[in-house]
Structure 1
Amino acid sequence: MSESYTFKAEAREKVGKGAARELRRNGLVPAVIYGDKQPPLPIAIPYKETFLRLHSGGFLTTVATVEVGGQSIQVLPKDYQLDVVKDTLTHVDFLRVSARSIVTVRVPVHFVNEDEAPGLKGKDGVLNVVQHDVGVNAPATSIPDAITIDLTGLDIGDSVHASQLTLPKGVTLADDADQAIASITPPVSDVEDEDGAEVEAADDEAKED
């Protein structure tokens, strides 16, 4: 789990496009805290710090503390918007959470022991990654940074499905258990040779006709 951090925020009295533009001109990002059966709380958070957090990894899976109006609120970033032209951060949605909260998030998968996979090391196969992350249900304060997939013993033609993942204690699968995560495919040269042989065979049949 990534280390938690704290945002110092301001409560927003004005909402709307005009107020949001003014905040951005002043180096702030409009945001909203919602959830826990409480009214949404519009806030403004520092742009630079938030932007750096967004691009340092794990933004949507790391619990933060927002200090606003004398309160300290534990939150999990749930969504954010970027300007389609400038790629600047324009808005963030936060969800109130606690140690008891169970959230559904997408966590990246990491592959280990590629040298122990016969299909990769000895036969020059290719690791075909179908899903770079997986959906899980996890305690908000114990979201794993990544799910590790051990490739030991895998050969060409073998695949890894979501149901085969080893999940940390308290974490359950949110995705379809039959979802393919990765597979080991033949070397590209072998595939090309097979395609070429099929084309030649088709050409020979056409000549015979």
Structure 2
Amino acid sequence: MSTVLSVKKRETGHRSTLTQLRKGGAIPAVIYGYKLDSTPISISAKEFVKSIQRNGQNSVFSLELEGQKVNAVVSEIQQCSLKDEVNHVDFLAINMAEELEADVPIKLMGQSVGVSEGGILMQPNLELKVKVKPAELPESIDVDISTLKIGESLTVKDIRDHIPVEVIDEDDYILVTIIAPASVEEETIDGVEEQE
């Protein structure tokens, strides 16, 4: 399901114009891609933030631009680190019939056996690159970690057959590892042995 957003063409140029736009409750943006030249636009900040909260960043947006509907996905969001506000958005116009590549967040499900036993959970990669039709793009990929013990890892190979979309990342791409905590006793014993 796509989210409809009204957008307006905007003039490019001075920084003061962009500041004025933001003060007026709009976000400067650009749309480019399928059957479209790069076009500077502006969108309502309130509408955009509400739709991201409701449908997630990976949803397909139906942008109404001067009477024309354009299907697009968010390519990049630039945020102000001080105010936690969206400064600029890049939209990629897409063909709904063609597959696209996208990075989807990994959502860990369950409590790992290894963590319950004192292990430390390491998640070196937070996203998976997938290839999918825009309408089937998941908001996140759920990964069950409940059976992971200390010293075990979960890779793309372990989950590839259990998820409904094509994963582009290699089989050895590590999603989660449970490492053993460093034992204080072992370190002390090692220190004593070295002195003898």
Q: TM-score range by the shorter chain?
A: 0.7 to 0.9
Answer yes or no: is the 8 Å Cα contact 1:119–1:184 preserved in 2: yes
Output the TM-score relative to the length of structure 2: 0.84
Gap runs ≥5 in structure 1:
none
Q: Which of residues 190, 198, 203 is equivalent to 2:187?
A: 198
Offset of 1:129 from its aligned partner? 2.4
Answer yes or no: is the 8 Å Cα contact 1:98–1:141 preserved in 2: no
- Counterpart for residue 24 of structure 2: 26
- Counterpart for residue 119 of structure 1: 114
- Counterpart for residue 157 of structure 2: 163
Deviation track 1:127-172 (CA, whole Å, cap 9, x = no partner) reads 332223222122111111222223354322221012222321xx22
- Helix, strand or coil for the counterpart of 1:51? helix
Q: Which amino acid in 2 is paired with 1:80?
A: I
Offset of 1:120 from its aligned partner? 4.5
Number of aligned positions between the proteins: 193
Q: Distance in 2 between matches of 1:125 and 1:183?
A: 10
- Helix, strand or coil for the counterpart of 1:178? coil
- Helix, strand or coil for the counterpart of 1:176? coil
Offset of 1:42 from its aligned partner? 1.6
Cα gap change, 1:37 to 1:98, in 2 (>3 Å): closer
The within-5 A match list for 1:61-140 is: 61-114=58-111, 118-121=113-116, 123-140=117-134
Q: Which amino acid in 1 is paired with 2:190?
A: A
Deviation track 1:166-192 (CA, whole Å, cap 9, x = no partner) reads 321xx2223232111112233x3xx22
Q: Which amino acid in 2 is paired with 1:85?
A: L
Q: Distance in 1 between matches of 2:27 and 2:113?
A: 50
- Helix, strand or coil for the counterpart of 1:9? strand
Output the TM-score relative to the length of structure 1: 0.80
Answer yes or no: is the 8 Å Cα contact 1:103–1:139 preserved in 2: yes
- Counterpart for residue 176 of structure 1: 170
Cα gap change, 1:135 to 1:46, in 2 (>3 Å): same
Q: Distance in 2 between matches of 1:49 and 1:24?
A: 14
- Helix, strand or coil for the counterpart of 2:18? helix
Deviation track 1:96-142 (CA, whole Å, cap 9, x = no partner) reads 1132232222212223343xx65355x44443322232221221111
Root-mean-square deviation over aligned CA pairs:
2.3
Offset of 1:39 from its aligned partner? 0.9
Gap runs ≥5 in structure 2:
none
Offset of 1:7 from its aligned partner? 0.8
Q: Distance in 2 between matches of 1:77 and 1:129?
A: 25
Moved over 6 A (4+): none
